[in-house]
Amino acid sequence: MAGVILLLFCTLMWWPHATVSITLESLNATGSIRDGDTMVSAGGIFKLGFFSPGSSTKRYLGIWYTNSNTTVPWVANQETPLNDTSGVLHVTNHGILILVGGNGHSVWSSNASNLPLRPVGRPVVQLLDSGNLVVTDGTGDTDSGNFIWQSFDYPCDTFIAGMKIGKDFRTGLDRYLISWTSSDDPSPGMFTYRFELSGFPEVIVRDSSTIRFRSGPYNGLRLSGMLEMKENPIYTFDFVFNEQDLYLTFNPRNSSTLLRGVLSSENGSIVPFMWNDPNRGWIQNLPLYIDNCDRYALCGANGICDNNRSPVCSCLSGFSPNNPDEWNSVPGSGGCGRNIQLNCSSVGYIRVPNVKVPETKHSWYNYSMNLHECKNLCSSNCSCTGYANLDITKGGSGCLLWFTDLIDMRYISDSGQDIYIKVSASEIAQNESTRHATKAKNRTRIIATSSALSAGVLIAVLTIVLFLRRKKNLKGLLSLKSDNFSDYQSSKDLELPLFDLRDIVSATDNFSIKNKIGEGGFGCVYKGVLKDGQEIAVKRLSTSSKQGINEFTNEVKHIAKVQHRNLVRLLGCCIQADEKLLIYEYLPNRSLNFFIFDFVCVFLSGYMSPEYAIDGLYSIKSDVFSFGVLVLEILSGKRNRGFIHPDHHHNLLGHAWTLFCNGNSMELVADTIKNTCNPPEVLRSIQVGLLCVQRSLEDRPTMSNVVLMLSSEVPLHQPKQPGFFNERDLIQDASSSSDAQKHTCSNDFSITVIEAR
């Protein structure tokens, strides 16, 4: 047998080009591995050998993590397990890996496709730092990618860094994930995660032959329906689609980060994991699709899903339920049909913004056309039902056309894309008066309160509580003239619609006390109903507030940019006479304040940052301060304002910081959760909250870093003294931020290292 070098090393640490070679003699005389032998990687990260998953007694050849021997990213003989410990792995002079049982019969071979064999002078088997097991022609050169065979071409249920999911058009090789049958059985299960090539390619998750999820086409930023692919501090991804290749791959931003995504055998979702430490192990993040609207074709043909509405399904504008009775019973059932059938000579288009575009199975695409050319092409083809840009970056480019019913659409309020749906010209004329109201209704967002609060939901609360100010009585506003607007009449200046004060006065019954639903430092909040029936919440800035027009408009511009599917939606504002109003969607499920503290009317204060409360200066770091206050209130079950500790007279922020400095942060935690919580997670949350409420806005983290700190184990800075340490600090905190640098504490229970990127 020709000399063989067998490298049995696997690591997901992203160290460039590091490999470990093991000579034939270092294994045994035959160059084989027997059951009971394990090879440990040089870095001690991985082992390769035979194992039995879960409670099974069957034997498989696989690679697992040294620090987590139940975490197996790749299995060789998934479908042909061994019943005993007689298995032996051989390497042939053709560069083929062969697994044989006790009877000498082969149960698995790396030549799974029965490719033509050719002798290799000196085959080399290496398991690269990426986790890719490769066979080369003896040179040991892995940089060229010229492999005889590689395990990355045959993934199991795990997507790891550097792996490609997709198709090689030159060889016909199709790389896709397939779930395990169960945790005890790694044989191919029911779910697959795979690119499908009819029309423009999309990733499809199937349960056997049934489609469960569709990613949407790549739009220049991400796969249309996968919000998790947006730019983030943890990993980057690449999508490649050309004449030779179609694939999706990802890599961690930090070379020391271990990441993997597992195709769940229970529901077909991709569950991302990140290695934390030996005590915490793998940290599971949210699956890559989790809500109702991610269920394939939930709303039927020509329907659209909005996860923040109830019911979630509605028909697209220009369409109505095919079976109204069935639809009323189960919205989405039976799908939607056109109100007016198309006449090829008289058509128009309805723009539907911020969506995951429909299924592209029967689509047509062209990268070189612009949107105008795309529209003309759709208009000239009677079968065309809609069009959109193929690439939404840099103003948009390319053309994507649909020719059948529009399937599996959903709203994505913060970063969706536009689609133009073909309808009869008479349909547009008939519905012009109600179209805008319908669109506004379809885009309404409500916040669902739950016991397990995500960071996104917590951020939503900031939009509600941050700007509550002082109240003012108003009389005789119904007699105001419409020409009494300020210089800020243009919605373009504020990037938001402007409401007429008379409409708001009418909607709130002249700001009647019976419509007041909350009160805070900025004034009062009133429920109102507009003429079209839409319910709103109106925040009314008190004239005693120090905030002027410039500060108010600056604030509005910032809020307008913070639109998210988990955020209460800002509908517009009103700057007229002496009034400065913010108009939000109305939240029928009441505020988070009700669920934390139990009372009926909301009177909130104590969330404003020092620079905002004292100088009227608003920035994104003002939101961060409010978020920190909220975190500490949730953990303690106490309000910041009104809390004065009998021993030191500090408010909640000062009390929390004092306990932190003394290493006694758990004393802050409410008794109702102290006995059931995870102490390390609670202590970390308290430290993050204190970092958010630091007096100087320069010291506070950004919200993206806050989310990272709460969802991972990145090291944390020591927090400095909070703003508004006690009630008297409202005046004292007007001092310069340099004074805050002096107020630090030492806490041996925290780690001060570099901040995560």
Count of CB atoms situated within 10 Å of the CB of 734:
12
- Considering the domain architecture, whether residues 543 and 651 belong to the same structural domain is answered as no
Q: Band the pLDDT of 45: cuts 50, 70, 90.
A: confident
- Considering the domain architecture, whether residues 138 and 181 belong to the same structural domain is answered as no
More confident residue, 579 or 139: 579
Task: Write out pLDDT tens, residues 564-602.
Answer: 555 677 888 888 867 888 898 887 765 555 544 447 344
More confident residue, 30 or 144: 144
pTM of the model: 0.58
In whole angstroms, what is the distance from residue 730 CA to residue 521 CA? 13
- Considering the domain architecture, whether residues 305 and 352 belong to the same structural domain is answered as yes
SS3 593: helix
Amino acid at 731: I
- CATH code, domain carrying 7: 2.90.10.10
State what percent of residues in the chain have pLDDT above 70: 70
Asked whether residue 449 is assigned to any structural domain, the reply reads no
More confident residue, 195 or 329: 195
In whole angstroms, what is the distance from residue 161 CA to residue 300 CA? 36
Q: What's the first-to-final CA gap in the chain, in angstroms?
A: 51
- Considering the domain architecture, whether residues 10 and 101 belong to the same structural domain is answered as yes
Average pLDDT of every residue of the chain: 77
Averaged over 370-387, what is the pLDDT?
94
Query: Quick check: 729 pLDDT over 50?
Result: no
In whole angstroms, what is the distance from residue 132 CA to residue 147 CA? 11
Q: Band the pLDDT of 343: cuts 50, 70, 90.
A: confident
- Considering the domain architecture, whether residues 162 and 210 belong to the same structural domain is answered as yes
CA-nearest of 111, 114, 175, 177 to 148 is 111
- Considering the domain architecture, whether residues 219 and 170 belong to the same structural domain is answered as yes
| Domain end residue (candidates: 414, 442, 470) | 442
CA-nearest of 341, 346, 345 to 318 is 341
Query: Residues marked as binding?
Result: 539
Domain boundaries, position 319: 296-442
Query: Residues marked as binding for ATP?
Result: 539
Q: 409 CB contacts (<8 Å, ≥6 apart)?
A: 299, 303, 304, 305, 316, 352, 355, 356, 357, 358, 419
- In this structure, the dihedral spanned by the alpha carbons of residues 168, 173, 177 and 182, taken in order and rounded to 10 degrees, is -170
- Considering the domain architecture, whether residues 178 and 128 belong to the same structural domain is answered as no
Asked whether residue 382 is assigned to any structural domain, the reply reads yes
- What was the pLDDT predicted at 118? 64
Task: Write out pLDDT tens, residues 680-689.
Answer: 889 999 999 9
- Considering the domain architecture, whether residues 492 and 350 belong to the same structural domain is answered as no
Q: Which residue has the tokens 């995870």?
A: 678
In 665-704, which positions are buried (b, 16+ CB within 10 angstroms) versus exposed (e)?
Answer: beebbeeeeeeebeeeebbbbbbbbbbbbbbbbebbbebe
Alpha carbon of 537 to those of 307, 439, 511, 570, 591: distances in Å? 21, 19, 11, 9, 12
| Domain end residue (candidates: 136, 151, 166) | 151
How many domains, the chain?
Answer: 5
Q: Hey, which residues does 524 pair with through a beta bridge?
A: 519, 540
- CATH code, domain carrying 664: 1.10.510.10
Query: Quick check: 476 pLDDT over 60?
Result: no
- Considering the domain architecture, whether residues 436 and 548 belong to the same structural domain is answered as no
User: Is the Cα torsion angle 427, 428, 429, 430 positive or negative in sign?
Assistant: positive
- Considering the domain architecture, whether residues 114 and 162 belong to the same structural domain is answered as no
- What is the DSSP code string of 218-279? B-SSSBTT-GGGS--SSEEEEEEESSSEEEEEEEESSTT--EEEEE-TTT--EEEEEE--TT
Tokens encoding 667 = 């004393």
Radius of gyration of the chain (CA): 30
